[in-house]
Structure 1
Amino acid sequence: MISAVLTALLLPIAAVVGLAAPAQAATVTATFTKTQDWGTGFGGSWTVRNTGTTAITGWTLEWDFPAGTTVGSFWDAAITRSGDHYTARNLSWNGSLAPGASTTFGFNGTGSGSPSNCRINGAACDGSTPTDAPPSAPGTPVAGDVTNTSVRLSWTAATDDRGVKNYDVLRGGTRIATVTGTSYTNTGLTAGTTYSYTVVARDTADQTGPASAPVSVRTTGGDDGGGTPGDYVKLGYFTNWGVYGRNYHVKNLVTSGTAEKITHINYAFGNVQNGRCTIGDSYADYERAYTADLSVDGVADTWDQPLRGNFNQLRKLKEMYPDIKILWSFGGWTWSGGFTQAAANPEAFAESCYQLVEDPRWADVFDGIDLDWEYPNACGLTCDTSGPAAFRTLVQEVRERFGAGNLVTAAITADASDGGKIDAADYGGAAQYLDWYNVMTYDYFGAWAAQGPTAPHSPLTSYSGIPQAGFNSADAIAKLRAKGVPADKLLLGIGFYGRGWTGVTQSAPGGTATGAAPGTYEAGIEDYKVLKNSCPATGTVAGTAYAHCGTQWWSYDTPSTIASKMAWAKAQGLGGAFYWEFSGDTANGELATAVSNGLG
């Protein structure tokens, strides 16, 4: 996806990286030029030139970027990525170059690094005699199995033209081990202490490449143990439509034991219409009269009481559990279209939201607002072209209107692909105005791709064969942190449901399918409380369970995988976790319990 990145504000610079000094004998050379620079990113172009005496019919250009510098949108070439190694190939119309002819392709990048180890058709880009290039940077280490005194690190392999020999593991910039595989367990650590790790690859010529991006890990235990109980946000979504077909009410939070295991509730959803916050479902929200058997406190609503519905039930819940905070969430997949108009007048939007949330009839129920815009400057059910700064401006106005005494949060994309939705908006700049982000690290893959391949909808990490690079939780969290979002302002998302296909014969991920598996409310999706019995898990991949039963294939989280994800979230220093949504859990709150126990 090519996105406009403040084009009118960009200042071109004549910064030519010294990779190309064409030699007379070379057949083809390549020169890189940084055409624009806006601090956090840049525009770049490569010029491929035939310096020989005979025509060429195609070209392949390769280079490395240092960790933290990536290619986003691109044009006039096909660009692929493996780690920090990039490969660009000609398109059908610009592969043939006569002697002396040239062609140019371009891209937008993030970060500030410059390309290195450039090769064109296997030869050095400047026409000199090819030399052995150093390896690329390994993938960002992922921490797991964190204890008081140890942590296990794993990473995706680096690439090298002659093969990677081993990896140096660095802690705080000092090498602590050299290993041949892509994992290492560091022992002898101090409880309750934060450590920073990077990894460097070494090739068979003993050349070392650039370091991976760092990962910060805090061991458990110690005086604060990386967060005393109650420090972590444990948030669940309560949907207003759940009171209908699902027959799920606020009282279920009490009877399941879930209310004792959460710190926050997001009430979903309020609508966004004509750039304003509006009521989503007045009957469910504040009109429905509750009978005694469905009421939180066993007391029926009367015909003349000023507030009924979910809002009154949430008020009763807060009386029983006064530490629970409740936010009103606006937008969501269906109701995000109004955010485009809101971005055109963010002050009016903020005022409308404040007046609605602080309506005297229910002001005591809510402790703040959550904005679920799917997606700023990108496409969801509808497409937005408000520009990368629109989201930051909007949340700034909402924060100013709601003030420091209210919570202001946002649910955001977890698309960490190059040039994907995280790159489309200024989530780093907006973070200063928000208490936290609910990073929607689920729904990466599903039966909207009716023929497959089957894949976990909420992978924690990448894995061999994943259908789309950057579609996993670890990459999303790493990208947001690289953009300047503090780790403790990021919550890991968990789905209390599974996504599935039918017509599948292969048990392992990656199989073909014929369509969406049947679901209770919608094809291709089913609650955990159903799947745990109808299609029990048969394996795990990338930290998520999957199940093959008959011709159906499902992926979903279980108490076991949630425990592992919570350990990972703590190791990353995240602020906690959230889940969509309460009604998918069992009657005794198995998954909510796993989140709570995992965070401590």
Structure 2
Amino acid sequence: MSRPGVRRAIALAGAAVLAAAGGLLTATPAASAGTVTATCTKTSDWGTGFEGRCTITNETGAAIDGWTLVADLPSGTSVGATWNATKTVSGNRYTFTNAGWNGAVAAGASTSFGFSGTGPGWFTGCTVNGGACDGSGGPGGDTEAPTAPSGLRSTGKSATTVALAWTASTDDVGVTGYDVYNGTGKVQTVTGTQTTVTGLTAETAYTFTVRARDAAGNVSAASNAVSVTTDAGGGQPGPGGDKVIGYFAQWGIYQRNYHVKNIHTSGSAEKLTHINYAFGNVQNGRCTIGDSFADYEKAYTAEQSVDGVADTWDQPLRGNFNQLRKLKKMYPHIKVLFSFGGWTWSGGFGQAAQNPQAFAESCYNLVEDPRWADVFDGIDIDWEYPNACGLTCDNSGPEAFENLMGALRAKFGNGNLVTAAITADASDGGKLEKADYAGAAKYVDWYLPMTYDYFGAWAAQGPTAPHSPLTSYPGIPQQGFNTADTMAKLTSMGVPASKLLIGIGFYGRGWTGVTQSEPGGTATGAAPGTYEAGIEDYKVLKSRCPATGTVAGTAYAKCGGQWWSYDTPSTIDGKMRWASDEGLGGAFFWELSGDTTGGELITAMRNGLG
């Protein structure tokens, strides 16, 4: 097995030979004294792609606080993954802005960022902080700083996070970004007018300000200061919980040919702590069976069965329920919850909420049916969405969800698990504000915020965007549609972080008719999928359309005219470590059949949580 460091060293050595032989690696002229300059080179070039590096040098007599490099690339050439800088793209123009930690460059000092790209072309029209990269022509004559940001305010907080928003600055040329300060230290650089500062300490006072800057490096005066004290929460975040919960979809036994036995043979069972069996139906205000054949009637052969023993015609329980019983016997640590609702079967919750006690009674009687009472350890509710719109619109009122969960807890008692999958819409006025999730939290063992499907080809023309972003990013189509904002909003409402699980999709969302490699491109519709347009399992995408970059902690891929986003073992590892640092209770995923036969994704989840 080749080590990555060795492969990279060989590539760079080869690039040096190419440069000497044919001048394939280009560079801007040497720095001129008295200006901020930049030198950009291809450190490796293999014809159809390259790696590059830009070095910014401060030849002025004073330190600079922030830099922005702008350059054009010809059609057919693009930059993808970027490190040590933030990249934004408008047409063929690329703007690279310092990361939070490398914006300050002392007089005479340098800093660098790197990137990978595709195509044969290279940068033209390079400027840094508004002046030519080679130091000629001065700084472009832009010496006017932006106006100071105004109206800085806190829009939410938790024990470890503070959400901020402000009114945009103006500039004679244009504002390129905002620097967020905690006291005198810069903690973030963003392009929008809101952000969430993470990694804070509980019950601690912080004072924040924001400064705007333009492409020439002019920095505004500070905004008004806002002081915020974080909530109580037991001190520093983490370590988080270690729950790993997977959904098993009953209909997977048909086209997908995925059975309970596959949980065992893939190695997933030893990594799971809980299985949510999806779905039971909700009809006439009651919990009902969703698919009796799959649930408890199907006869399994010895080859299909978890333990290699075939079902008999006269045994009292068959189907998935019996296979789950066998799986639990083999893996006693696994708990199984019966999940009700889901996207298609949530329409009955409105009627159920009119008499929550009767609903809870019906659910208890079904989950604890003597034929399979030993299979289930509790109930999971997947109402999409209380007092809001999903497949249909619900108007049961903001208190309905709390009342329903309270009735379930009263009926199921403390000896059974009661959980709920909930919306992840943290936008202003969004679905998280439509129901009392904080009030209902006292009745649940944990929530499963569905931190996936934020974006997809239901917006047929795009813009392309990762369906499960961990954080916000420049150009995100909708503010509040990312995991960090979802968790920050829920904890700011009063939901304990330990009762929240991060959600992972074992699938990708995709568009077709896309020409742009990076997120934000236009499209003509949904990409083809095995079972449904616009969606495909990870096990298929990993080889059919391999990842070409990452954005906001999620992988994306451009193959032909298709653009997909999905999580890989690497991005899942990053998300699990983030969840642990935030003190979350663990992670869950939809759903088991999307993983590889060897369980690549669930292994990354288990290892990432520790």
The alignment's TM-score, normalised by the length of structure 2, stands at: 0.68
Three-state SS of the structure 2 residue aligned to 1:438 is strand
The answer to whether 1:469 aligns with 2:479 is yes
Structure 1 residue 210 corresponds to structure 2 residue 226: yes
**CA, structure 1 residues 503+300, in 2 after alignment: closer, same or farther (shift >3 Å)?**
same
2:281 corresponding residue in structure 1: 271
1:200 is aligned to 2:215: no
Whichever residue aligns with residue 475 of structure 1, its letter is D
What corresponds to 1:422 in structure 2?
432
Q: Match for 2:345 among 335, 345, 350?
A: 335
Cα pair distance change 1:141/1:503, threshold 3 Å? farther
| Counterparts of residues 444-459 of structure 1 (less than 5 Å) | 444-459=454-469
> What is residue 366 of structure 1 aligned with on the other side?
376
- Quickly say closer, same or farther: Cα 1:549–1:427, change in 2 above 3 A: same
Indicate conservation of the 8 Å contact 1:493/1:579, yes or no. Answer: yes
Partner residue in 2 for 1:578:
588
Residues 406-441 of structure 1, C-alpha deviations (whole Å, 9 max, x = no match): 000000000111111111100010000000001001
- Could you tell me which residue of structure 1 aligns to residue 308 of structure 2? 298
2:269 aligned counterpart, secondary structure: helix
- Amino acid of the residue matched to residue 330 of structure 1? F
Q: Report the Cα distance in structure 2 between the residues aligned to 1:455 and 1:555, rounded to whole angstroms.
A: 7
Counterpart code for 1:491: L
- 1:460 is displaced (CA, Å) by 0.9
Cα gap change, 1:217/1:197 in structure 2, threshold over 3 Å: closer, same or farther? Answer: farther
- For 1:244, which of 235, 254, 267 is the aligned residue? 254
Assess, with a 3 A threshold, how the Cα gap between structure 1 residues 551 and 290 changes in structure 2: closer, same or farther: same
Hey, what does 1:259 align to over in structure 2? 269
Aligned-pair identity in percent equals: 69
Query: Which of 507, 519, 522 is the aligned partner of 2:517?
Result: 507
SS in structure 1 of the partner of residue 374 of structure 2: coil
Map residues 129-168 of structure 1 onto 2, 5 A cutoff: 134=150, 136-137=152-153, 159=167, 161=169, 167-168=180-181
| Equivalent AA in structure 2 for residue 248 of structure 1 | Y
Q: Equivalents in 1 of 2:293, 2:187: separation in Å? A: 62
Structure 1 CA distance for aligned equivalents of residues 512 and 587 of structure 2: 31
Q: What's the TM-score, normalizing by structure 1? A: 0.69
Q: Which amino acid aligns with 1:321?
A: Y
> Could you say if the C-alpha distance between residues 472 and 385 of structure 1 is closer, same or farther in structure 2, counting changes exceeding 3 Å?
same
2:12 corresponds in structure 1 to none
Deviations 1:217-263 (A, max 9, x none): 9779xxxx725xxx421100001000010000111111110001010
Query: What 5-or-longer segments of structure 2 have no aligned partner?
Result: 1-146, 212-219
The separation in 1 between residues aligned to 2:498 and 2:354, in whole angstroms, is: 30
Partners of 1:357 and 1:463 in 2: CA distance: 43
Alpha-carbon distance in structure 1 between the residues aligned to 2:149 and 2:450: 39
Counterparts in 2 of 1:243 and 1:179: CA distance versus 1, 3 Å: closer
Secondary structure at the aligned position of 1:383 is classed as coil
Q: For residues 463 and 210 of structure 2, what CA distance do their matches in structure 1 show?
A: 34
Aligned 8 A contact 1:196 1:217 in 2? no
Q: 1:513 to 1:397 in 2, by over 3 A?
A: same
Note closer, same or farther for the CA distance 1:382–1:432 as it changes in structure 2 (3 Å cut).
same
Q: Indicate if the aligned counterparts of 2:470 and 2:554 stay in contact, CA closer than 8 A.
A: yes
Change in Cα spacing, 1:167 to 1:132, as seen in structure 2 (3 Å) is closer
Query: Distance between the aligned counterparts of 2:262 and 2:235, measured in 1?
Result: 36
- Alignment match, 2:443: 433
Matches within 5 A, 1:76-95: none
Q: How far apart in 2 are the matches of 1:356 and 1:408?
A: 15
Residues 526, 544 of structure 1: CA spacing in aligned structure 2 closer, same or farther, 3 A cutoff?
same
Q: Distance in 1 between matches of 2:374 and 2:288?
A: 18
Quote how far apart the aligned CAs of 1:579 are: 0.1
The CA distance in 2 between the partners of 1:535 and 1:166, in whole Å, is: 36
1:226 aligns to 2:242 (yes or no): no
Contact 1:264 1:324 in 2 (8 A): yes
Q: Is the 8 A contact 1:138 1:201 kept in 2?
A: no
Task: Map 1:177-188 onto structure 2 (within 5 A).
Answer: 177-178=185-186, 181=189
1:177 counterpart letter in structure 2: G
In structure 1, the residue corresponding to 2:442 is in which secondary structure?
Answer: helix
Q: CA deviation at 1:155?
A: 8.4
Instruction: State the 4+ residue runs in structure 1 displaced beyond 2 angstroms.
Output: 131-135, 137-143, 153-169, 175-187, 193-199, 202-209, 211-220
Determine the structure 2 residue equivalent to 1:528.
538
Q: 1:265 to 1:165 in 2, by over 3 A?
A: closer
Partner of 1:594: 604
Write the letter of the residue equivalent to 1:256: S
CA shift at 1:157, angstroms? 7.9
Aligned equivalents of 2:180, 2:420: Cα separation in 1: 38
CA-atom RMSD in angstroms:
3.0
Tell me the SS of whatever aligns to 1:347. helix
Q: 2:329 aligns with which of 308, 316, 319?
A: 319
Structure 1 residues 509 and 141: alpha-carbon distance in aligned structure 2, compared to 1, 3 A threshold: farther
SS where residue 408 of structure 1 aligns?
Answer: strand
Question: Which residue does the alignment assign to 1:9?
Answer: none
Which residue does 1:518 correspond to in 2? Answer: 528
1: CA distance between counterparts of 2:276 and 2:414? 19
User: Is contact 1:135-1:201 (8 Å) kept?
Assistant: no
Give the deviation of 1:571 after TM superposition.
Answer: 1.2
Give the Cα–Cα distance (whole angstroms) in 1 for the partners of residues 270 and 449 of structure 2.
23
Task: Tell me how far apart the structure 2 counterparts of residues 458 and 235 of structure 1 sit (CA, whole Å).
Answer: 17
Distance 1:133 1:525 in 2: 41
Q: Contact 1:201–1:208 (CA<8 Å) still a contact in 2?
A: yes
Q: Match for residue 30 of structure 1?
A: none
Query: Using the alignment, how far apart are the partners of 2:556 and 2:157 within structure 1?
Result: 24
Aligned to 2:119: none
**Paired residue for 2:35?**
none
3-state SS, counterpart of residue 448 of structure 2: strand
Give the C-alpha shift of residue 464 in structure 1: 1.1
Secondary structure of 1:410 counterpart: strand
Relative to structure 1, the CA distance from residue 206 to residue 506 in structure 2 (aligned partners, 3 Å threshold; closer, same or farther) is closer
Counting matched residue pairs gives 446
